[in-house]
Structure 1
Amino acid sequence: MNDRGVTAEQERTSRRRLPLPDWPTTRQFLSALSALGITLLVLGLMNIWDFLHAEQSNWLHFANSILLVGGIALIAFTFHVARRDLVAPLTELRHWVNEMHNGNLSARLPKSDQPDFSKLYKDINALAERLESLSLDLQSEVEQQTQRTQQKTHSLEILYDIAANINAANDLEDLLTRFLHTLKDVVDARAGTVRMLTDNGEMQLIASSGLDPEVVKQEKLISIDRCLCGQAAKHGEVYSLDDLTGCGQFAGRPFFESDNIEMIAVPLRYRGKVLGVYNLFTTQHGLVEREDMKDLLTSVGHHLGMAIEKSRLDEEANLLSIMEERTRLANELHDSLAQSLASLKFQVRVLDETLHSGEESALWEELERIENSLDEAYTELRELIAHFRAPMDKRGLIPAVEQAIERFRRNSKISAFLQLEWGKTKLPVEVEMQVLRIIQEALANIRKHSEANAVRVLMRAAPGQDFLVMIEDDGIGIQDKIIEGGPGEHLGLKILAERAARVRGDLKIESESGEGTRVTLTFPMPIEEPENDGTVAVDFPAHQTSKL
């Protein structure tokens, strides 16, 4: 029972799923209607022939013939109406679809006399007009975007060319010359200038190209309140001037023979500060009215301002480096050769006293010391010339300090004691050199000024603590005004402080009259600097379009 129920349900489902017959097309319908009309025509003709040739005719045959002829006429009329009101509009619709498919978005359906198709045609034509409008808008937007992309690409090429010229420049003059030639080619300019702001509110012409030498001479230095250049410098915006008569009056002669020249003034900015202005003289009028050209000129101004500031900073850094090198050379001469000469001066004085005493053995002993000191001074001088560094013992800091203390004992005849709590600590060569020089300078001051009998040098390197170097004596002490430092013979104390700063250390000088002097140096573990592979890391800011 259940099986029969399931089978019946499946049959009903199958019947429901049977595909419906396709609805006949218009052409098929007209073909069937034509076949029906021909059939009725044949029947009608046969019926009329039978009516005419029959021996006995009745009105039924005649009426049947008339009905057949009327049916044929009705079918013919229906066929005509179907072709006119259905087939023709569909043919027009198909033709319109083919035109649209082929890309002719301006194709439209003709005006229809049929009310139903007339409204449909209007709606379809309105849709076609909307589609054509959207297509034209999209095409226009694509063309504009393509043009903007091409302009940006051109601007990037110009900026790349300018940046390449800036990097290839040897100095500021070469940089500005390359810049002006590149930018003159970009805007087809007749001439160009670069002016920098001075501290007294004037603008100095530092580079020019294409201008008459007499004009350049008159324009070397102008007031910031004068004409367009001053406005660009004050307000930091791009300006243009199509009449250079006023500029020619200031210069005492026309800038150019032709009056059809426009001047563009663009500020040179760096980190929000206006450094100066660059000018372009071109026959192309209205360049600054183009937004893309404004952005390009402003961006070029930023790049050039950055390059000029970098050049200035490099020059200052070079001067500072030269000054530091000179200071270092002076310090090295003071701590090495000057000390050796001072020691020789002291030994010559001792030699003079020995000559007056008449002790021949002591005389030869002093002469030997002087000869040894001359050899040491000569060695130090050769080291300075060859390497410009302290004659550090190749074995490290401790042997060099021991050698310095032994030389101090020999030259001064003052008892000196070295207390080492240093272990096997190793420091960078530069740090060891500064520590050695501090010890040497302190010992030299003791020999020359302290009148001490004993000296102690303590060197301590404890884990987790700062390094300690202490030099103390039992001499007459140092006066306060000498500790404060000053020029001349007290230069050594200032050099001691400079050397301590180089190792990020702290130098203390403690002294009381008649109680001796203590010099204490403490400094942290040196920071190892990473090796420089010759590359420079640069953070590029996100590109922003300058608003002019």
Structure 2
Amino acid sequence: MTTTNLPAPIVLPMGKRLTFRILVTTVVGLALTLMAIGYTLLLSWQLEGGGAAINEAGSLRMRSYRMAMLLEQAPSNGIVEQELLDFNRTLSELQSGDPKRPLFLPQTAAIREQVKKVQDEWLLSIQVNAKNVLRETDPALRRQALSQYEQELPTFVHNINQLVILVEVELAEKTTWLRLCQTALIFMSLAASIALLYLLYLWIVGPVTRMQAGIARMSKDDLSVRLPIETEDEFGVLAQAFNQMADHVQTVHRTLEVRVSEKTAKLQAQNHEMSTLYEVAGFLAGPHTIEELCRGFLHRIMQRMQADGGTVRILDAVNDNMHITVHAGISEAMIEEEHCIKKDDCLCGAAAQQGIILVRDFRLLDQQKRYRCQEEGYVSLAVFQILTREMVIGSFSLHFSKERIVSAEERRLLEILGKNLGSAIENQRLIAKEKEFAVSQERNLLAQGLHDSIAQGLNFLNLQVQMLEDSLKRDEIEEIRDIAPLLRAGVQESYEDVRELLLNFRTRLQDSNLESEMRNVMAKFQRQTGVHSEIHFAGNGAPLAPEQQLQVLFILQEALSNVRKHAQASEVQVKIDNLRDFTMTVHDDGLGFDMDKVAEKGDGHVGLRIMRERAERLSAQFSIESSSEHGTTIALHLLRQERLVA
């Protein structure tokens, strides 16, 4: 498969980055725009302040004439004095300005000089004459002071007019500058817009259009398309990356068929591996003996690996021996020689300690050692462990007549299959032990039943026979007549015990229907004993598991057997409550017995002991209540957490 190593991403210097250029252009344009706007705002502010100054200066003329009228009419001194104060305040504001309005005069030399002239004339002449008019009480002197005020007033008003004219001229110039600035701002905005559009096209739109055209051509399977690298910015890097991608795509397209074939072959190998794993796992899950498991396993992996021979060896951990369980493609001479060997005597045994052993070619190994597989004509060998719970219980080997390399995938598959075979062998061993344990338990119960029933009956018959022999020796016909019925009764009781035991141990559930089997047992008991029997079922809980149903049935049979032998009852009632918990009670109206005496005997009562043992196998609670002349009640209670799923 062909691969192309793409270069690392290019890191551009800050000065060549498109984002940096856009940022600089934006900042410069924004700075120029803010400067122009700020200058126009300054001019507008100055024009507004100058206009207010013209208004205030114009008001001085009106106040001058108004003050002359007030002095001529001789009003109260307070009105004239207030006018003087307002006049002084206005002159002060014209000189120092009032930024709150705004109000200020342009700060040119001519205007400052004219303002000083107006202020000096007011302070030294006009204001003095006005105050003289107010102070004089003599009408002639008052008229003389008023005449002096009126004579100097035209000159003062003329100076104010000159000030207003100077301010108006200065404001006209500023208005011209404001218009020029606004016009320049308009042209600058147009120029900036045109420049911005040009730069956007040059920097962004043009490269994006070319790249879009290249992508469109490539989408039409034109893999020869390449973009020109005209700049060293991000679009230049992008064009270079596009060309590299096009080269890679063109190379990949040329090798696509080869890569598809490789992927297909790999996928087929994986599918074959999975199918082999499922097939072998399905076979190992079946009910086979250990030998059948090993033979079927070996046959399947030899087919999968195309091996010419193979063996499965089981480890004897006690003696450190490896035993050949099954084999295929191996000569009988080799099997006879290696059917039981020590772990260190061959490669198959060594794998149990060392792990996987792979031999590519025996000719590459130490030829001073003897390799039985090489003598058989095999060239390659693969040995894998059989594991269960991380313990080695054996090994399996594959023999090849030609040189064979086991791939990593095949090695992983064979390791997994070795663990599956180990689990299957261990399961079969556990099943065998479980069956052996179950048979042992049933034999123990059978032995107890025989010992405590048949053996006691036979012992009674043995005593009666000895007494019969003694009576025969003494020719005591009357004793013989007394002994004969006892012998017949003992034989009949032993016969019934044998039949009951055979019936109990042959009992099997039909279709896991506990209710019908319990009814059959009750019907047989009533036919054999003539004791009236009833059984009642309540609840609709889930059925018990088959093994639990069988133990419940055995406990019922043993309880009825005790009733037949000892109770002398006329009625037996059985009640089954199958709810979340399972409960069975067996009650008879027989003679009953003293619980204390039974407790003193310990395990001497075989029937009760057998029922308790079966209840323990169920993990159920078992209880007995009995008293003389009031019958006996046996109860079995199986909690819901101890119930097995049917």
TM-score, normalization by structure 2? 0.46
Look up the equivalent residue of 2:453 and give its one-letter code.
S
CA distance in 2, matches of 1:246, 1:403: 87
User: How far did residue 279 of structure 1 move?
Assistant: 0.7
The match for 1:211 is 330
Look up the equivalent residue of 1:525 and give its one-letter code.
H
The match for 1:429 is 553
User: How far did residue 530 of structure 1 move?
Assistant: 5.5
The match for 2:613 is 501
Residue 340, structure 1, aligned to residue 452, structure 2? no
CA distance in 2, matches of 1:94, 1:251: 70
CA distance in 1, matches of 2:429, 2:234: 78
> Of residues 86, 105, 127 in structure 1, which corresponds to 2:223?
105
CA distance in 2, matches of 1:503, 1:127: 81
CA distance in 2, matches of 1:252, 1:283: 13
Superposition pairs of residues 31-430 of structure 1, within 5 angstroms? 96-97=214-215, 99-109=217-227, 124=239, 126-130=241-245, 132-133=247-248, 149-168=267-286, 170-198=288-316, 199-237=318-356, 239-243=358-362, 250=370, 254-257=374-377, 261-282=379-400, 285=403, 287-288=405-406, 290-351=407-468, 363-385=480-502, 388=505, 394-395=521-522, 428-430=552-554
Once the two structures are superposed, residues 357-410 of structure 1 have per-residue CA deviations (whole angstroms, 9 ceiling, x without a partner) of 8775664343223222222322333444455369x995599999x999xxxxxx
Look up the equivalent residue of 1:124 and give its one-letter code.
A
Look up the equivalent residue of 2:284 and give its one-letter code.
I
Q: Secondary structure at the match of 2:309?
A: strand
- CA 1:173–1:255 in 2, change beyond 3 Å: closer, same or farther? farther
CA distance in 1, matches of 2:419, 2:595: 59
- CA 1:276–1:524 in 2, change beyond 3 Å: closer, same or farther? same
Max radius of gyration: which structure? 2
Look up the equivalent residue of 2:283 and give its one-letter code.
N
- CA 1:494–1:286 in 2, change beyond 3 Å: closer, same or farther? farther
User: How far did residue 209 of structure 1 move?
Assistant: 0.7
- CA 1:473–1:348 in 2, change beyond 3 Å: closer, same or farther? farther
Look up the equivalent residue of 2:294 and give its one-letter code.
L
CA distance in 2, matches of 1:97, 1:282: 55
User: How far did residue 190 of structure 1 move?
Assistant: 0.8
Report the aligned-residue RMSD.
5.5
The answer to whether the 8 A contact 1:227-1:247 is kept is no
User: How far did residue 106 of structure 1 move?
Assistant: 4.2
Once the two structures are superposed, residues 498-525 of structure 1 have per-residue CA deviations (whole angstroms, 9 ceiling, x without a partner) of 7643322999xxxxxxxxxxxxx99963
- CA 1:308–1:184 in 2, change beyond 3 Å: closer, same or farther? same
Q: Secondary structure at the match of 1:222?
A: strand
* More moved, 350-359 vs 261-270: 350-359
CA distance in 1, matches of 2:293, 2:536: 53
User: How far did residue 262 of structure 1 move?
Assistant: 1.2
The answer to whether the 8 A contact 1:202-1:223 is kept is yes
- CA 1:319–1:117 in 2, change beyond 3 Å: closer, same or farther? closer
| Unmatched 5+ stretches in structure 2 | 1-206, 508-517, 539-550, 567-574, 576-580, 587-591, 623-632
CA distance in 2, matches of 1:471, 1:152: 74
CA distance in 2, matches of 1:248, 1:532: 62
CA distance in 2, matches of 1:255, 1:105: 60
User: How far did residue 268 of structure 1 move?
Assistant: 0.9
User: How far did residue 215 of structure 1 move?
Assistant: 0.9
Look up the equivalent residue of 1:262 and give its one-letter code.
S
- CA 1:250–1:498 in 2, change beyond 3 Å: closer, same or farther? farther
CA distance in 1, matches of 2:415, 2:349: 16
CA distance in 2, matches of 1:308, 1:424: 46
Q: Secondary structure at the match of 2:637?
A: coil
User: How far did residue 94 of structure 1 move?
Assistant: 8.8
CA distance in 1, matches of 2:441, 2:330: 42
- CA 1:277–1:395 in 2, change beyond 3 Å: closer, same or farther? closer
Report the number of matched residues.
Answer: 380
- CA 1:437–1:398 in 2, change beyond 3 Å: closer, same or farther? closer
CA distance in 2, matches of 1:120, 1:525: 85
- CA 1:338–1:287 in 2, change beyond 3 Å: closer, same or farther? same
Larger proportion of helix: 2
The match for 1:525 is 637
User: How far did residue 340 of structure 1 move?
Assistant: 2.2
Q: Secondary structure at the match of 2:323?
A: strand
The answer to whether the 8 A contact 1:262-1:281 is kept is yes
The answer to whether the 8 A contact 2:347-2:357 is kept is no
Look up the equivalent residue of 2:309 and give its one-letter code.
A
- CA 1:494–1:366 in 2, change beyond 3 Å: closer, same or farther? closer
Once the two structures are superposed, residues 55-81 of structure 1 have per-residue CA deviations (whole angstroms, 9 ceiling, x without a partner) of xxxxxxxxxxxxxxxxxxxxxxxxxxx
Q: Secondary structure at the match of 2:398?
A: strand
The match for 1:22 is none
- CA 1:106–1:296 in 2, change beyond 3 Å: closer, same or farther? farther
Superposition pairs of residues 420-499 of structure 1, within 5 angstroms? 428-434=552-558
- CA 1:380–1:495 in 2, change beyond 3 Å: closer, same or farther? closer
Look up the equivalent residue of 1:303 and give its one-letter code.
N
Q: Secondary structure at the match of 1:225?
A: helix
Once the two structures are superposed, residues 128-157 of structure 1 have per-residue CA deviations (whole angstroms, 9 ceiling, x without a partner) of 322553797797998877665443322110
The match for 1:18 is none
CA distance in 2, matches of 1:161, 1:430: 42
Once the two structures are superposed, residues 103-123 of structure 1 have per-residue CA deviations (whole angstroms, 9 ceiling, x without a partner) of 2434335x79xx679997885
CA distance in 2, matches of 1:362, 1:399: 36
User: How far did residue 278 of structure 1 move?
Assistant: 0.8
The answer to whether the 8 A contact 2:383-2:398 is kept is yes
Q: Secondary structure at the match of 1:189?
A: coil
CA distance in 2, matches of 1:368, 1:122: 121
The match for 2:45 is none
Once the two structures are superposed, residues 240-298 of structure 1 have per-residue CA deviations (whole angstroms, 9 ceiling, x without a partner) of 4521777996566844335xx2111111111111111111112565643x321121111
Q: Secondary structure at the match of 2:325?
A: strand
* More moved, 153-162 vs 375-384: 375-384
Q: Secondary structure at the match of 1:211?
A: coil
TM-score, normalization by structure 1? 0.53
- CA 1:265–1:386 in 2, change beyond 3 Å: closer, same or farther? same
